[in-house]
Structure 1
Amino acid sequence: MAASRPASRAGELHELIQRALRNQRELLGRMIRGILFESQSQAPAGAEKSGGDIWPPEYEESVHYFAQRIGKGVPANAPIIDFAAFPITVGPAVWPLAELRRAALAAMEDTPEMPHDFIGAAEIAASYATNASLRGMDQTRDRFWQLFQNGLLHFRVVLERGIYEEELVSLINGGLNFTALFYSELGLAEETIRMEMNVSNTQDVEMHTARSGPAPHFVCRIPAVKIRQKVSAATLLSARRDCADQFLNELAVRFNAPVQPRSVPNP
């Protein structure tokens, strides 16, 4: 019995050591998994790209392409509006060019009461295809637009007369209405759409309103204005007035004008 006692203790000691090693390995494994999980959840830079906070490269390419083709008769320092929209929750997709044209024409046919200050049916019919988009521009080359196969929409217009509130109301309402119907036609009614409106050449430019006149003058003091919204196409269609007012009031703030309802009723 005495001889077996040391052997039993040696066996118990060996078992304790093995158990301690297993516990250490499990603890180390949990620590490593925790570190990896924390690093993934705290990496917003990469996550932003998949979340739609970064525009696809086609947007800057489109801006550059149209900037090089503004008509010679257009004033050099006239304000320019760039409006873009993109479905941010949809993975990589490619819509046929024929489907883009069909969806665009359907979006116009559904809104005969809307002014054609955004994209008109005649402009869509006269557009031409590139390898990745439908592209259109008017004869004076102060209005441009592209519908890309990845779902990106880009519209550019030069405001030759300057910034007029009534023109902005018509333009933004028509743009949001077209955007909502276009994406609905593509089957994206419930998807989140990111929209951005950039207005350049605004330094010391006045916004002309019905309240303008000798005084007050509503003047922008910065060279460019950027306004963003995220909303589903269905919500945009049902609450277009609210979305339009948000854009218009954000513009008014940049021009140091009073904030108030400016849009037209929802259809």
Structure 2
Amino acid sequence: YPFRNLPHVCNDACNSELQRGVFYIRTPDARSRAAYRSSELHAIIQRSMRNQRQMLGRMLRGILYEDRQAVEPRAEEEFSALLQNGRNQAKQTLGNRVWREKPLFEAAIHPQRRLKTFTLSDCRRHLESLEKPGLHDFPWPSAQLRENPIYASNEAIRSHSAENAEPAFFWEFYPEGLFYCAVALPELPGKSIDSATLLQLCVITLALNGELFSQMGLGSELLTLIFRLNNTLDLNLNLGGSSGDKQNRCHIHDIHIFISRTAGDLEGGAAANTSAHFFREFCERFNYSLNDSEFSAISKGLENFLQRGMLDS
């Protein structure tokens, strides 16, 4: 018979029907009889061991995640609704031509649960206290980006580039825990984008969010990281160096990549490595495969960029 902790053993005799100290099993034809085959006793032992492993697993999960709130069943739907709202606002701000024709980078970052304790003022305070990288480093370090205002909408803290300014970008952060951004990538001759620009954008976005969520007391939260490149059909990824003249064309309209990392990991140094992983996935869509030495060099270069490439606060 199925059991949770201890196997069932007969503890009393009943004429010739039941025997004390004997394990009874249920047969496929719905009869009960004593377990007398070695395979049957082995199955009882295996079930006991499996039950113990499952109980130990539940205990360990309880210890590891006792301080974490349970994932809300509707969290994914709620974040999807916020994300769609952010995308609609970005499209309105950047314009249809940028949205539909230009190489466009998008990122959406959020925890596994909807946050309920933060106000718009809390979000503004945490955003404005970011240091390395700070908001003036987004989407990449440039002195003229310091002048873009940060303001509150009815639902989020938001900033974007001025009309017709370069680079064209939009970002907002919702108190529920969603960071969203859209950035028009500079287009090079020959319908190309620069890999260094894309890498800097990836690492700044991840490092900024690692610092932000950690500062909000959510360093142990697992974050969903969603990166997109839109309008990529026939777009070339310029890798520079010896590969600069090679055509690395994308043959799909949009690229979607998903990775999960904790905020503490991103703040603690994993932003560079995670950015390199994103970039490797982007390269695959542009039909170029990074080898291990290239991946290591990119990851190391991004670490150096984070340490020395940020603007002074």
Confirm or deny a common fold (TM above 0.5): yes
> Is the 8 Å Cα contact of residues 101 and 124 (structure 1) preserved in structure 2?
no
Q: Give the structure 2 partner of residue 157 of structure 1.
A: 183
Q: Which has the higher contact order (CA 8 A, sep 6+)?
A: 1
* 1:224 matched to 2:250: no
Distance in 1, matches of 2:267 and 2:80, equals 24
* 1:172 matched to 2:202: yes
After superposition, residues 55-94 of structure 1 pair within 5 angstroms as 55-71=79-95, 74=98, 77-88=101-112, 90-94=113-117
Distance in 2, matches of 1:167 and 1:92, equals 32
> Is the 8 Å Cα contact of residues 94 and 151 (structure 1) preserved in structure 2?
no
The C-alpha deviation readout for 1:25-52, integer Å capped at 9, x for no partner, is: xxxxxxxxxxxxxxxxxxxxxx997385
The C-alpha deviation readout for 1:135-187, integer Å capped at 9, x for no partner, is: 11111362000110101000100113142100011111111110100101111
User: In structure 1, what residue type is equivalent to 2:228?
Assistant: N
Distance in 2, matches of 1:250 and 1:79, equals 17
After superposition, residues 108-257 of structure 1 pair within 5 angstroms as 109-111=131-133, 115-118=137-140, 126-139=149-162, 140=164, 142-161=168-187, 162-210=192-240, 211-214=242-245, 216-238=246-268, 239-257=270-288
Distance in 2, matches of 1:84 and 1:160, equals 21
| Unmatched runs of 5 consecutive residues or more in structure 1 | 1-46
- Could you list the structure 1 runs, at least 4 aligned residues long, displaced by more than 3 angstroms after superposition: 51-56, 71-76, 118-125, 211-214
- Work out the percentage of aligned pairs sharing the same amino acid: 22
Distance in 2, matches of 1:82 and 1:103, equals 22
Distance in 2, matches of 1:223 and 1:155, equals 19
Distance in 1, matches of 2:94 and 2:209, equals 24
Q: Give the structure 2 partner of residue 26 of structure 1.
A: none
> Is the 8 Å Cα contact of residues 115 and 177 (structure 2) preserved in structure 1?
no
> Is the 8 Å Cα contact of residues 80 and 159 (structure 1) preserved in structure 2?
yes
Q: TM-score, normalised by structure 2?
A: 0.62
Specify the SS of the correspondent of 2:93: coil
Q: TM-score, normalised by structure 1?
A: 0.72
| Unmatched runs of 5 consecutive residues or more in structure 2 | 1-69, 308-313
Note closer, same or farther for the CA distance 1:192–1:213 as it changes in structure 2 (3 Å cut). closer
User: In structure 2, what residue type is equivalent to 1:148?
Assistant: Y
User: In structure 2, what residue type is equivalent to 1:135?
Assistant: R
Deviates more, 1:57-66 or 1:73-82: 73-82
Q: Give the structure 2 partner of residue 37 of structure 1.
A: none
Deviates more, 1:130-139 or 1:65-74: 65-74
Alignment RMSD (CA, Å): 2.9
